[in-house]
Chains A and B, each alone.
Chain A
Amino acid sequence: MDQSPETFRGIVERHQGRVFSIAFRILGESGVAEEVAQDVFLLLYRHLPRLASEEHVTAWVRRVACHRATDALRRRAARGDAAAEEYQDGMALRPVVRDMAPLMNRVEQLLLTLPPQQRAVMLMRYQEDLEPEDIAVEMKMPLATVRSYLQRGVKMLRAKAERTLKEYSRG
C-alpha cells in the first residue's frame, strides 16, 4: 500500500479505535495506551509498502498492538508498577483498578485481572470477533492454548463478575 498522507490518514481513522482499545484494555491506562497506539501507527507507516491489502493491515495492527501493549506492560512490571501486576491478584479487584472505574466499564476492569497474554487472546475473541483458529494463526499460538485461555478466561470473568455483583448488592 502506498505511503501518501491521504491513504495513511484513512488507515489511521479506520483502525485507531481498534488499536487504542487493544492497548487500553491490556494496559488499563489511557495515556500509555495512546503512546503505544501512536507508536503502532508510526511503525505501520514504515511497513505500509510491504502490506498488500486492507486485510493485511488489519491483521498487522491487531498483532503489533497486542505485542506492543504487552511489552509496555512488561516494562512497567519490571519497574514495579502495581497496576501492571494486577493480574497476579487472583480474585479481588485491587483499589488501583477501582480507581480507574470512571474511565473503564466493569468488563474492562475485570479483564485487567487476567494475565496479559490471556487478556490479549480474550480481546481478539470478544473485541475483534475472531474465531479461535484465527487467533492461533494471528498470535502464533497453538490452538489448544488459545482455547484453554478462552475457556479459563470466561470462567474466571464469570466468577469475578458474580462475586463483584454480590459485593455491590450487599453494599
Chain B
Amino acid sequence: MVEKMDDFERELKEQLQAREVPAGFTERVMARVPEQRVSSWKWVGFGMPAWRWAVAALLVAGMVAGGVEHDRQQRIAGARAREQVLLALRITGSSLRDVQQKVSRGDR
C-alpha cells in the first residue's frame, strides 16, 4: 500500500536525495578488490591454499580411520585365536583325564 506524504515529508524526501560520493571513491574501492580476491583464495599457511589443506585433512582422516579399523580387526582375530587355543586346551585336558581314568582302571 502506497502511503501519501504531506508537504513536510515531501520536503524531507527532497532534502534526502543521494549525496555525491567523495571524488575518487570508485577507484579507492576497486584498488582494494585485488586484496579481497587474494584473501578469498587465502593461503592458510606452509605454502598451501585452503582447498589443498582440505584434501590433506581428508586423506589424514581416511588414514586414521583405516588404522583404527585395522586395529579393531586385529583385536577380533586375536580374541578368536585365544578362544580357539582355550578350546583346544579344554579338549586336550578332558582327553588326558579320560586316558588317565582308563589307565587307572587298567592298573586295578
Binding site for B on A (CB under 8 A): 3, 5, 8-9, 12-13, 16-18, 20-21, 24-25, 30, 34, 37-38, 41-42, 45-46, 105-108, 111, 122-123, 126-127, 129, 131-133, 154, 157-158, 161
Contact A131 B25 (CB under 8 A): no
Q: Does B3 count as interface, using CB distance less than 8 angstroms?
A: yes
**Chain B, interface size: which category?**
20 to 34
Contact B9 A154 (CB under 8 A): yes
- Chain A residue contacts of B9, Cβ below 8 A: 126, 154
Task: Give the residue of A42, A127, A131 whose beta carbon is less than 8 angstroms from that of B17.
Answer: A127
Contact A9 B16 (CB under 8 A): no
**Distance in angstroms between the alpha carbons of A21 and B50 in the assembled complex:** 37
Contact B3 A5 (CB under 8 A): no
**Distance in angstroms between the alpha carbons of A124 and B37 in the assembled complex:** 31
Q: Does B105 count as interface, using CB distance less than 8 angstroms?
A: no
Task: Name the residue of chain B whose CB is nearest to the CB of A123.
Answer: B16
Least Cβ distance of A6 to chain B in Å? 11
- Chain B residue contacts of A122, Cβ below 8 A: 12
**Distance in angstroms between the alpha carbons of A12 and B33 in the assembled complex:** 11
The 10 closest A-B pairs by CB, nearest first: A17-B18, A107-B15, A127-B16, A21-B19, A126-B12, A20-B21, A16-B21, A126-B13, A126-B16, A21-B18
**Distance in angstroms between the alpha carbons of A122 and B13 in the assembled complex:** 10
Known A8-B33, A12-B30: A131·B2 in contact at CB below 8 Å? yes
Known A105-B15, A123-B16, A127-B18: A16·B3 in contact at CB below 8 Å? no
Q: Does B103 count as interface, using CB distance less than 8 angstroms?
A: no
Task: Give the residue of A45, A105, A111, A158 whose beta carbon is less than 8 angstroms from that of B36.
Answer: A45
Task: Give the residue of A5, A30, A46, A129 whose beta carbon is less than 8 angstroms from that of B13.
Answer: A129
Least Cβ distance of A156 to chain B in Å? 12
**Distance in angstroms between the alpha carbons of A126 and B14 in the assembled complex:** 8
Least Cβ distance of B54 to chain A in Å? 19
- Chain A residue contacts of B40, Cβ below 8 A: 46
Task: Give the residue of B3, B12, B20 whose beta carbon is less than 8 angstroms from that of A131.
Answer: B3
- Chain B residue contacts of A20, Cβ below 8 A: 18-19, 21-22, 25
Least Cβ distance of B35 to chain A in Å? 8
**Distance in angstroms between the alpha carbons of A25 and B16 in the assembled complex:** 9
- Chain A residue contacts of B30, Cβ below 8 A: 5, 8-9, 12
Contact A42 B29 (CB under 8 A): yes
- Chain A residue contacts of B1, Cβ below 8 A: 131, 133
